[in-house]
A and B are shown apart, each in its own frame.
Chain A
């Protein structure tokens, strides 16, 4: 059945969409003026190209790229997110004097900042992959790495937003917190998991390590990379729980599902704080 909007409804929807696109457009313009994003794209072009040129073939370059991606995209995403909240303080406060829906403004800000960053990574890495013929030869692996990079960008920009809004007046604290969170998620978390595995080695831990790994978005992306590149090693493991998780599509489904959850929850949290905040 076709939906019927009353003219008033439609008018309002049009207005919201117009506002949203307007905010996003304004942000894109200011981003491009800052040349930050262009530099970010060029970094990925150079990186991927040199990996392909000097590092050997497709799988090698893709795995190196994914290592860089897993380590730096979270950092860049978060720093950029929080930086943006701080930088656009005046702009936001000015806009909020107008009768503008805060929800729309929040989405505008979020998409306006995260989509160029995401596009920078995807385009920057995709171009060299395309002209070296890897995109066509190893399309699944390439698209996986690119897609995961994009997803991680979204997740960590939204986390950056949350931290920025939480520490709105104390920038030093905000940046410090961001760096600590990155260090924890990217490196220390896995160390802790390994420690726990060794301390409680006598117990069955398969289910535990799977659950714990899904609680960290970087680990989730890593597991998806692993499922693509290391499945032959994973199949050598005889544990039943792992085999079910990795062997069938359960692993891919669970990990992707959790990644989306990781995107949904911080964005929703950021939105909530943004709506209730007394600027």
Chain B
């Protein structure tokens, strides 16, 4: 018995002693014994940390098929020389942090990415600077994983020849936090991504969408900033998406939207701020979406809602000095507007309950006039047009008769 205990203790000591050997460190440096990252990956055992010191390393299609931690010290640069992928991760729980990864290949056939992560889980990609690439971070068929505090940028201004900053295809439960994406095609792109959590990112100056949801159910995105993207943010063909506390700002253009909704169901859009977009919220075929407590200020059109959208609820939003409040192509109204604050409201509140006594009609006659004669746009805010709008609001003839807010607030909603 005693021998057994001693043996166990000895075995434990031996085991502990070998631990540092099991999780060894491989140091890569331009003047060290190991000078390339691919060499380090080869000699490293699963669980090892590869410490890369500052310098420029040229790597293409660097395959990582064992669980290692790649740590950049002093911001080392991995340069892809404009060919192929740079890192390809095909093992679980790989960490990559502290690198500048630049210059992938470009192709119209293959999606060359700075970091491609395929069919694995538990990875962390953190604090990297990814620059001048085709695709940035590409996740395919992964489970979980964290993409955090990376900066992704590229400089191609054409949609066709630029890739997505953070691209998610067929993944489950990804977490995307605190990244900054600029100059890509789509800043963050999700296709068949389940329960994605996207928070605190800044996606700006991308050629197409700042964030693009396709067939991705049950995710949420919060506290992100989407600024000056070619077409704003698009959420398409998805169910159960939570969108809250985001800032949609300065998305300008003929087909630019703060938030484009297409075939969205059962989702929530709350506490967001829409500022100076051509169209703040565009809705096509969306159903049962709650749009609540948003601040919609100085946009061209606050809401453009197509007739195939129904049972959406616009409740307690602030509509402030948008050039036009609501635009629709339907004479009927299948959505609810209730209890919003409209800066264009000119009614009165005799019983002093904070709710206007006459309904507000957010579709103005002038918005229908410019639909027919776009040149009359130049008459916006003119006295004559205001008089016309006023007359139409008192006796609606051309604007949808059933689209109104029964309980417009007299004061802004805080």
A231 contacts across to B, CB distance below 8 A: 252, 276
B299 touches A209 (CB 8 A): no
Q: Tell me the residues in window 360-377 of chain B with beta carbons closer than 8 Å to chain A beta carbons.
A: 369, 372-377
Binds B, one of A7-15, A59-67, A103-111, A119-127: A59-67
**Is B383 in contact with A70, judged by CB distance below 8 angstroms?**
yes
Chain A CB within 8 A of B338 CB: no
Give residues of chain A (47-87) contacting chain B, Cβ–Cβ below 8 Å: 55-57, 59-60, 63, 67, 70-71
State in angstroms the CA–CA spacing of A55 and B250 once bound together: 24
Return the contact of B374 from the options A70, A222, A237 (Cβ within 8 A): A237
Contact for A236 among B254, B298, B372, B376, CB less than 8 A: B254
Task: State A44–B146 Cα separation when bound (angstroms).
Answer: 57
A229 to B253, CA, bound (A): 15
Contacts of B379 in A (CB 8 A): 190, 193-194
Chain B residues whose CB sits within 8 angstroms of the CB of A242 once the complex forms? 375, 377-378
Q: Mark B97-121, 1 if CB is under 8 A from A, else 0.
A: 0000000000000000000000000
Contact of A229 among B252, B321, B376, B383 (CB under 8 A): B321
**Complex-state Cα separation, A265 to B373, whole angstroms:** 33
- Whether A234 contacts B384 by the Cβ 8 Å rule is no
| A60 CB, nearest partner CB in chain B, Å | 5
Min CB distance B260 to A, Å, is 13
Enumerate A153-202 residues with CB–CB distance to B below 8 Å: 186-191, 193-194, 197-198, 201
Of the candidates B376, B382, B411, the one having the most CB atoms from chain A within 10 angstroms of its own CB is B382
- Residue in A closest to B278 when the chains form the complex, CB atoms: A236
Cβ contact within 8 Å between A232 and B300 = yes
In the complex, the answer to whether A235 meets B252 with C-beta atoms within 8 Å is yes
- The CA-CA distance from A86 to B382 in the complex, in Å, is 32
Give Cα A201 to B375, complex, Å: 9
**A235 and B300 form a contact (CB under 8 A):** yes
The answer, yes or no, to whether A230 is at the interface (CB within 8 Å) is: yes
A238 near B: Cβ within 8 Å? yes
- Determine which residue in B375, B376, B387 has the highest number of CB atoms from chain A within 10 A of its CB, and name it: B375
Tell me whether A223 and B321 are in contact in the complex, defined as CB-CB below 8 angstroms, given that A190-B384, A235-B254, A236-B301 are known contacts: no
A205 within 8 A of B: yes
Is there an interface contact between A56 and B343, defined as CB atoms closer than 8 Å? yes
Residues of chain A with a CB closer than 8 A to B387's CB:
187
| B279 at interface, CB cutoff 8 A | yes
Chain B: residues with Cβ within 8 Å of the partner, total of 38
Size category of the A interface is: 35 or more
Determine if A230 and B378 form an interchain contact, defined as CB atoms under 8 angstroms apart.
no
What is the interface of chain A mostly: helix, strand, loop, or mixed?
helix
Minimum CB–CB distance for B367 against chain A, Å: 10
Contact B320 A232 (CB under 8 A): no
Q: How far is the CA of A208 from the CA of B254 in the complex (A)?
A: 22
Query: Are B253 and A235 in contact, CB atoms less than 8 angstroms apart?
Result: yes
Chain B positions within 8 Å of A27 at CB level? none
Cα distance, A171 to B347, chains bound together (Å)? 41
User: Once the chains bind, are B372 and A219 in contact (CB under 8 Å)?
Assistant: no
User: Which residues of chain A are near B382, meaning CB under 8 Å?
Assistant: 190, 219, 222
Assess whether A226 is interfacial by the CB under 8 Å rule.
yes
A94 at the interface (CB under 8 A from B): no
Are A226 and B381 in touch, CB under 8 angstroms? yes
A60 adjacent to B343 (CB under 8 Å) = yes
Q: How far is the CB of B413 from chain A (nearest CB, A)?
A: 11
Partner of B383, one of A187, A198, A238: A187
When chains A and B are docked, how far (Å) is the Cα of A186 from the Cα of B384? 8
CB neighbours of B384 from chain A (8 A): 187-191, 194
Q: Does B323 contact A (CB under 8 A)?
A: yes
- Is the CB of A101 closer than 8 A to any CB of chain B? no
**What residues on A are CB-neighbors of B301 within 8 Å?**
233, 236
Q: Does A225 contact B (CB under 8 A)?
A: yes
Complex CA gap A139/B156 in Å reads: 34
| Interface check A135, CB cutoff 8 A | no
**16 pairs, CB–CB < 8 Å, chain A vs chain B:** A56-B320, A56-B411, A59-B297, A59-B321, A190-B382, A193-B378, A194-B369, A194-B376, A197-B375, A198-B376, A232-B278, A232-B323, A233-B377, A235-B300, A239-B375, A242-B377
Q: A residues near B, CB below 8 A? A: 55-57, 59-60, 63, 67, 70-71, 186-191, 193-194, 197-198, 201, 205-206, 208-210, 213, 219, 222-223, 225-226, 229-239, 242
Residues of B within 8 A of A (CB): 250, 252-254, 256, 276-279, 297-301, 320-321, 323-324, 343, 369, 372-387, 411-412
16 more CB-based (< 8 A) A-B contacts, given A205-B375, A209-B375, A219-B382: A56-B320, A60-B320, A67-B381, A187-B384, A190-B383, A193-B376, A193-B379, A194-B369, A201-B372, A226-B381, A232-B276, A232-B277, A234-B300, A236-B278, A236-B300, A237-B254
